[in-house]
Amino acid sequence: MGQDIAPFQAISISRRAHEMKAAGKRILHMEFGQPSTGAPQAAIAAAHGVLDTEAMGYWESVPLKERIARHYLETYGVEVRTRRIAITCGASPALVLALATAFNPGDRIALARPGYVAYRNTIRALNFEPVEIPCGEETRFQISAAAIEALPEKPQGILLASPANPTGTIIPREELAAIAGVAKRIGARIISDEIYHGLSYGPKIHSMLEFDPDAYIVNSFSKYFSMAGWRLGWLVSPEEGAQRTGAYIGNLFLTAPSLAQHAGLVAMDSRDELEGHVDVYRANRALMLDALPRLGLERIAPPDGAFYIYADISRFTDDSMVFCLKLLEETGVATAPGVDFDPVEGHRFMRFSFALSTDEILEALGRLEPWFRAQPQR
């Protein structure tokens, strides 16, 4: 029998937001981590051309796999053979594939808390055991080699993300190398979620493949490439696991959408347009960081990358879900409650996504500032 898992509370927030929108309320969506921009224009044009000329069908694009392999060489100096790359229907199936092919039922997977809600729930749904390591300000809300090594019972797997969700923090090169060293010493397999690569506001982002060539790497076209609705991602498996991954993907998911694969190939060479999106996020981040103290939110995780700010709201509430619903009802600004990302401490945190247009960020701040000023403090 399958395991019970907790619901994604931000979906409840979003559902209510859409009800309000249907009733005529203007809603500003800061609850989900999805770009407000669409796919690159050249990718959309390529998709139109394919629609006009091809029937399409089940297919895995060899040119796309070759382009992804070139991306690893050009960006990280790492050679990845195309047979290690599986094209997936987004990052979520890639995570399922990595977990299902790398571990046995009952295996323990270490991960940071706070962390993306689907990590612990997917681990649990597949009958593995999530081992959440509490990560606070002293480690910039990120997992560390020391914390993994200090676990009384060594895990079979380590799941990490850099940049991270919900905090946007980036793990430095030295710490990634140290984590890879600990994993090798204790015999743990690493899964690295790298879907926010390309979204940095200063620190350099490194792939775990630079330090552990046998790591599983999850990535997606949803974030940097602004193609969330196209449902396209990939998984890099170690050499010895690639054949097993291929068998699993063929049986569980068949193939990723053909149209998305054609568009994704073109998107990978649309860098000027995509870097323009990053410039917008950078401006939005600056606006948010300037405004947050005026909202009474001085304690935040340092948003090095991605497009999130994870803020301590304990001066206002000890129930982030109720707080976010109240905020939505009274301002029309949808946000994510911290309990999604941390079931222990998340009741006193909330997450803002700034992957909107700059005009929308300014509008949201215009609503948020007077609302927060009016809230009683505990």
User: What's the CATH number where 29 sits?
Assistant: 3.40.640.10
- On whether both 257 and 276 belong to a single domain, the answer is no
Place of tokens 């790298």: 194
- On whether both 277 and 133 belong to a single domain, the answer is no
- On whether both 72 and 163 belong to a single domain, the answer is yes
- On whether both 166 and 189 belong to a single domain, the answer is yes
| 211 within domain boundaries | yes
| pLDDT reported for residue 348 | 96
Q: Spell out, as residue ranges, where the chain has pLDDT lower than 70.
A: 1-2
| 1 within domain boundaries | no
- On whether both 71 and 213 belong to a single domain, the answer is yes
Neighbours of 64 (CB within 10 A): 25
Number of domains in the chain: 2
- On whether both 65 and 20 belong to a single domain, the answer is no
Q: How far apart are CA 160 and CA 81, in angstroms?
A: 23
Residue where a domain stops, chosen among 250, 267, 284: 267
| pLDDT reported for residue 234 | 98
Q: How far apart are CA 7 and CA 168, in angstroms?
A: 23
| 310 within domain boundaries | yes
For residue 342, the enclosing domain spans 9-39+271-372
| pLDDT reported for residue 2 | 63
- On whether both 32 and 49 belong to a single domain, the answer is no
- On whether both 86 and 174 belong to a single domain, the answer is yes
| pLDDT reported for residue 10 | 87
| pLDDT reported for residue 151 | 97
Q: How far apart are CA 300 and CA 354, in angstroms?
A: 14
Secondary structure (3-state) at 311: strand
Question: Per residue in 185-206, pLDDT tens?
Answer: 999 999 999 999 999 999 999 9
Is the whole model's pTM more than 0.85, yes or no? yes
Question: Per residue in 80-125, pLDDT tens?
Answer: 999 999 999 999 999 999 999 999 999 999 999 999 999 999 999 9
| 85 within domain boundaries | yes
- On whether both 53 and 165 belong to a single domain, the answer is yes
- On whether both 276 and 182 belong to a single domain, the answer is no
| 251 within domain boundaries | yes
Can you read off the two tokens belonging to residue 143?
């997992």
- On whether both 116 and 187 belong to a single domain, the answer is yes
- On whether both 177 and 218 belong to a single domain, the answer is yes
Residue where a domain stops, chosen among 267, 292, 322: 267
Residue where a domain stops, chosen among 267, 297, 315: 267
Can you read off the two tokens belonging to residue 155?
């895990």
| pLDDT reported for residue 27 | 97
